[in-house]
Amino acid sequence: MSAGQFIRVRGQVQGVGFRPFVWQLAREMGLTGRVWNDPGGVGIEVWGEDIDAFAAALRARAPLLARVDAVEAGPLDGPAPPGFAILESRGQGAETRVTPDAATCPDCAAEIRSPGRRQGYAFTNCTHCGPRFSILRCLPYDRAQTTMAAFPMCPDCRADYENPADRRFHAQPVACPACGPRLWYEVAGDKKPGDPVAQAVAELRRGGVVAVKGLGGFHLACDAANPQALALLRARKHRPAKPFALMAAEAALHGIAALTPADLALLRDPAAPVVLVASRAVLPDAVAPGMACLGVMLPYTPLHHLLLHAFGGVLVMTSGNLSGEPQVVGNAEARDKLAAFADGFLMHDRDIARRLDDSVERAAPPMVLRRARGRVPGVLPLPPGFPDRQVLATGGQMKGAICLVKNGQALLGHHLGDLTDALSVDEFHKALVDYAALFDHRPTLAACDLHPDFVATRAAQATGLPLVRVQHHHAHLAACLGENLWPLEGGPVAGIVLDGLGLGPDGTVWGGELLLGDYTGFDRAAHLRPAALPGGDAASRQPWRNAVMRLDQAGLAPLADRLFAGQPVAALRAMAAGGVNAPLSSSAGRLFDAVAACLGLAAAAQSHEGEAAMRLEALAGPPGQGYPFGPGLDPAPMFRALAQDLADGVPPATISARFHDGLAAAFAAPARDLVAQGRAWAVALSGGCLQNARLHHALLAALDGVPVLTHRTTPANDGGLAFGQALVALAQGAGESSDQPEGGLETV
């Protein structure tokens, strides 16, 4: 290299302490120059000896929260300056990555418990932790562009902020009690004097419910060990069975859950997600009725640390929202919407720039069930062979999330909720505008689902861009391929795609599919034998309807009459026979509902999405001999075997296990055949049913010896759909508009 070099560092390199890291590294190596932030990332001008080693260290020794995508270098003319300087940010725009919110680091956690001006301060942070995306209004990431702009720094905080040797150097949310956000406790709109945390803890110990303002919105908290408090919260939220998320210090978590090393590593991750872990069954059943797992997280803000330390136990920490609505974020909104739920409010005056639910993940097998706070707006690299083109994909209906493609990367947005809810629809449209502005996104192509009535589909149409309509299950397959960096020209794979519902190109409702394809197209190699969904959407809410249809198909109508004697079975059969609001579907999700209903699990009605299937999974015993399926993936033989087990008094845990293992074997066999025949190079597993760890493990066992691709960092459910849509659009688009359903030939 020449004596002087210009170095460009691209990636997640702003708001993570990268400039002071560069400053310290340059001083250590005896180099001179300057460093700054700009829309492209971090720019460095450097002079001295062995700049190659300096450039290599930028990647190898980067700060904890940094994600370096590229280090680019070129010669630089001019004399070397004295020393090394950190300059102010330059330019406008967005070519660099935004850092997700990060859990409180060990240094800050220790500081709030130690004598000093930040002892007990609920908004302590540094360049290694704290709010980022949740407070950012626009780029570049500077204090004036965040919700911290309302809090001018005091002289002490300014000194920290301007000292390159301090861990708070250019930490935009830096604050202390003298100048930063403040915390208070209020009841019925009245702010109460005294220690806010102590007052909240007193209410929690009385068995009350407290609304707590966090990073991306409000939580509702109560004592997880108090059955009366749990019953009170469930009654107030009208949430009879959906599991509650829990928060506790790590030591307390060991008492309620059997934590593996992988669980602990994920819990300690800076993203601080809710992690599904094995329950020790010591908490009241009302925490997670019928579940074998708990959703737990560690405290991830100083406020949470202070609250948990003072409380000394395990707290429910569930989203603060009306049923079906997005999480509440504003103080006035919280007073209006959560007053009926909460006995008190632990509030603060730092605004939340965007709603971010807690991410939900599992360590074994690794999977993301909800991609949100702490993970977004992290990006995904595009697989080899894809063109560099800006694309917008709008996703699906039930788990809204959009995807933006730019500069060879895909930004899969945060969980936006069910787009059948009006306020979630508002959040969806806000996200379209927000992400486009924040990331300077100018798409030339849009992608959406085949379903014409989805909110997301209509939004894509409204852009006026060339449009690629992507079949639902093809998008799932493409998302799995993309996460695994399967090349554009990598060849076809066998995709086992199992979920609730998705419109097929033939106009029927799909959901239990074996696809043979890649990004550009697919054939439907096999699928579950369809059954009617009498009542349409009602069949998704009432599992007994699916059970009657499947039992009737298997010649077991008398069993259906006995199991569901209290239901209008005759009217249901008439509806199906007449084809009145009874579309045919190959849905694997509805098959799970049918089996669950036969075992009496949420048979009459589900109180939340996936309840029946989740309880069926939790019930399942160890692996064994699975139930048989007939030719064409016909479940009728499986139901006849299940009926015999019911008659013989076989334990429900065994019946559930036999169903899971039989379903896995039924799909694995033809998928293996496609690989053995040389028609597929691997098997990909996707769709919402693959969140079921029991089914996931059974499929992996049944596919032993075959290359298998799975989701690990993107949701297998509809939260990852937009990523797959974007990849299909890039593969198919090539400047053309497509308003016709895409797909392939159905293969029997």
The residues annotated with a catalytic role in the active site are: 19, 37
**Which tokens belong to 574?**
């008439």
Cα–chain center distance at 435: 17
The torsion region of residue 592 among left (phi > 0), alpha (psi -120 to 50) and beta comes to alpha
Give the 3-state secondary structure of residue 558.
helix
Distance CA 690, CA 709 (A): 12
- What lies within 8 Å, CB to CB, of 565 at 6+ separation is none
What distance in Å separates the CA atoms of residue 67 and residue 422, rounded to the nearest whole number? 36
Q: Which helix (H) or strand (E) holds 674?
A: helix 652-676
> Which tokens in the block code for residue 70?
């590229």
What are residue 472's phi and psi, to 5 degrees? -50, -50
Distance from C-alpha of 54 to C-alpha of 7, rounded to nearest angstrom: 10
Residue showing tokens 């997280």: 297
Q: What sign results for the dihedral spanned by CA atoms 48, 49, 53, 56?
A: positive
Contacts of 652 (CB under 8 A, 6+ apart): 599, 619
Q: How far is CA 223 from CA 229, 259, 279, 357, in A?
A: 6, 21, 17, 21
The tokens for 491 are 């060849």
Strands (E), 559-665: 584-585
Q: Which tokens sit at 179?
A: 């100048």
- What are the two backbone dihedrals, phi and then psi, of residue 213, each rounded to the nearest 5 degrees? -85, 120
Residue 476 to residue 720: CA distance in whole angstroms:
7
Helix-, strand-, coil-residue percentages of the chain, each rounded to 5: 35, 20, 45
d(CA 471, CA 742) in angstroms, rounded, equals 6
Looking at residue 126, what DSSP letter applies? B
- Of 535, 547, 691, 534, which Cα lies nearest the Cα of 610? 691
- Residue by residue, DSSP assigns 684-720 as EEESGGGG-HHHHHHHHHHTTTS-EE--SSS-SSGGG
Cβ atoms of 411 and 403 within 8 Å: the answer is yes
Question: CB atoms < 10 A from the CB of 712, how many?
Answer: 15
